[in-house]
Amino acid sequence: MLKKDYKFRVVAVFCAFTLLFIVVIIRLFLLQIRQKNFFKHLAQHQYRVDVTINPVRGEFLDRRGKLLAINQEVPSAFVLPHQLKNAVKTKLFLKECYPGVYQRMVQHPQRQFLWVDRKLHDQRLVTFNELTKKYDIDDIQFINEPQRVYSHKELGHVVGFTDIDGRGIAGLELVYDKTLKGASTVVSLSKEARSPQLYFEKTVKQQGYAGSPVTLTLDATLQFLAYQELEATVNRYNAQAGSVLIMNPDSGEVLTMANYPAFDPHFPPESLDITKNSIVTECYELGSVFKVFAGLAALEDGVVEFDEPVDCQGKIAYVNGFRVENWKYKEVLPFHDVITHSSNVGIAKIMQRVGASFYKHLVGFGFGKKTGIAFPGEREGFVNHPKNWSASSLIVMSFGYEIMANLLQLGMAISTIANGGYQVRPTLVQRELSAAEKECKLYRPDSIEKIKQILAAVGKNYQVPGYLVMGKTGTARLVKNGEYSLTNHIYTFSGIIEKDDYRRVIVTFIREPEKAGFWASQISAPLFQKVAEKMVMHECGT
């Protein structure tokens, strides 16, 4: 009886272990074979996360190969909400120091990845590490991202800047974003399970590529030199703003676009007004600089002789029934001195002969339409069409009113005079000048030569030793509250520097000095001279 009972227990134990073994085998089969993909996905879900890394953005270089916008690697902090070692401490840290991140974590509980703070360079990284130490957390991870670095803040208005993700949002960074940005890299970050610390191995899942560089026509050194003089002039007169434009009149290449006040493109201000490149985004009635184009139109149309006497009638006269005032008492002047001495009465009289043809000349120069330069926010300006003219329109247009223009349009028009009468298309990126552009001649050589003589008579007051200087001043009233102000003015000088085959166009502009009563000959013309002196020393060594 005992023997049978013993055998029964042995068989029962054997069967139990056999059954248990079968259950284990079945369980292993289910885990490792039937449900392999499920648990593999679960493991990856818990220990792996994909992150998109922006590529190295293409660089900006100036015409001499100097780097203007480059990239450096800086750490960015993130958390993995489903892999927190101490969720209580980490969430408290986020709630108190980064409430926006905390809210995203609460509102999106399925998120596997959350940025905490990005582009932590220099002192910001030190401050961040001090915070994490204070809260005693180690759930924060870091990964390097490319950070845009700008070497010349005075170029901020032109080069522009990017957002936190490296996308161009202003200036040339925006215009050439597709060229510069390349393609993103997708990286898989994996947790090392055997480590007591969260250590991530980075595996590239999708390889991106870096953006292409863009070489500009700008000269960074010349930009800096011009900006120095501009800043000094604005501060000297406590003016609201100012600009300097330098162009190669033969190629249309823009060498300098300086605006004051400047801003740091690494930390764009809340108000984006200061970040605008006002040389292309702002239009003004520029005043007497337009007497140059009025005079050239009269010479080209053959309605006046170079030495023809013109009665400027003293201080005040009526032209076509409209009251016109000279800035200074002038009587009879030869036509060339009408422009040299900037007589409003004299030029208004001559323009009665030119008539509606003046509109065609202005449009031919490029006024009233965009220049075609690749830059965001360019304004086309305004030229009053003859069908809308009043009795005074042609008169005031002859000395720069009822014509709204930006400084680039002015520089482009002066370039046509500087290069012998050829149309110019301005550019900020190096390119080949097409044969069609070189052959598009607008004015006869005789007309150009005569207007240059007139400009040289003004330019002799602002000489640069060894160079021929030509130019014209412009002082204009600004409209305030719907009326022309007696105290708010703008001051412009558009000029040409020439020696043998070397030619440059410079436009200087100062807006609203603190005190009234100045003339462009006292503010913008001396600025032109100082910029020109530094320019020829830099470019020609003389």
The CATH number of residue 307's host domain is: 3.40.710.10
Strands of 112-177, DSSP E: 114-117, 141-150, 161-162, 168-170
Strands 322-334 and 161-162: unpaired
- Could you tell me if 226 and 82 lie in one domain? no
Q: 82: closest CA among 116, 51, 103, 113? A: 113
* 324 located within any domain: yes
In terms of pTM, does the model score above 0.85?
A: no
Q: For residues 188 and 199, give the distance between their C-alpha atoms in angstroms, rounded to a whole number.
A: 13
- Could you tell me if 131 and 63 lie in one domain? yes
Strands 214-215 and 60-61: parallel
Q: Kindly tell me if the per-residue pLDDT of 24 is higher than 90.
A: no
Q: For residues 152 and 159, give the distance between their C-alpha atoms in angstroms, rounded to a whole number.
A: 9
- Residue 290 · residue 284 · CB < 8 Å: no
- Could you tell me if 357 and 377 lie in one domain? yes
* 44 located within any domain: no
* 498 located within any domain: yes
Of the ranges 27-36, 224-233, 422-431, the best mean pLDDT one: 224-233
- Could you tell me if 391 and 526 lie in one domain? yes
Q: For residues 140 and 381, give the distance between their C-alpha atoms in angstroms, rounded to a whole number.
A: 53
* 4 located within any domain: no
Name the residue with tokens 């020393």.
537
CATH classification at residue 120:
3.90.1310.10
Q: Which of 168, 196, 215 is the last residue of a domain?
A: 215
> If you write DSSP's letter for every residue of 331-369 in order, what string do you get?
EEEEHHHHHHTT-HHHHHHHHHHHTTHHHHHHHHHTTTS
Half-sphere exposure of 190 (CA within 13 A, CB side): 11
Beta bridge partners of 429: 216
- Could you tell me if 205 and 242 lie in one domain? no
- Could you tell me if 183 and 248 lie in one domain? no
- Could you tell me if 198 and 226 lie in one domain? no
- Could you tell me if 371 and 235 lie in one domain? yes
* 158 located within any domain: yes
- Residue 489 · residue 512 · CB < 8 Å: yes
- Residue 335 · residue 305 · CB < 8 Å: yes
What does pLDDT average to over the chain? 87
- Could you tell me if 331 and 403 lie in one domain? yes
Q: For residues 474 and 519, give the distance between their C-alpha atoms in angstroms, rounded to a whole number.
A: 8
Using the Cα atoms of residue 234, residue 239, residue 241 and residue 247 in order, give the sign of their dihedral: negative
pLDDT in tens, 91-126: 888 888 899 988 888 888 888 888 888 888 888 888
Name the residue with tokens 């582009």.
119
- Could you tell me if 225 and 199 lie in one domain? no
Q: Which of 215, 242, 265 is the last residue of a domain?
A: 215
- Residue 350 · residue 298 · CB < 8 Å: yes
3-class secondary-structure state, position 384: coil
Beta bridge partners of 185: 53
Q: Tell me the two tokens of residue 335.
A: 């036509």
Q: For residues 540 and 542, give the distance between their C-alpha atoms in angstroms, rounded to a whole number.
A: 5
- Could you tell me if 230 and 350 lie in one domain? yes
Q: What was the pLDDT predicted at 539? A: 95
Which structural domain range is residue 303 located in?
220-540
- Could you tell me if 396 and 498 lie in one domain? yes
Overall domain count for the chain: 2
Lowest mean pLDDT among 229-243, 312-326, 396-410: 312-326
Q: 464: closest CA among 490, 493, 497? A: 497
**How much of the chain, in percent, has pLDDT values that exceed 70?**
87
* 354 located within any domain: yes
- Residue 302 · residue 280 · CB < 8 Å: no
* 236 located within any domain: yes
Q: Which of 150, 180, 215 is the last residue of a domain?
A: 215
* 17 located within any domain: no
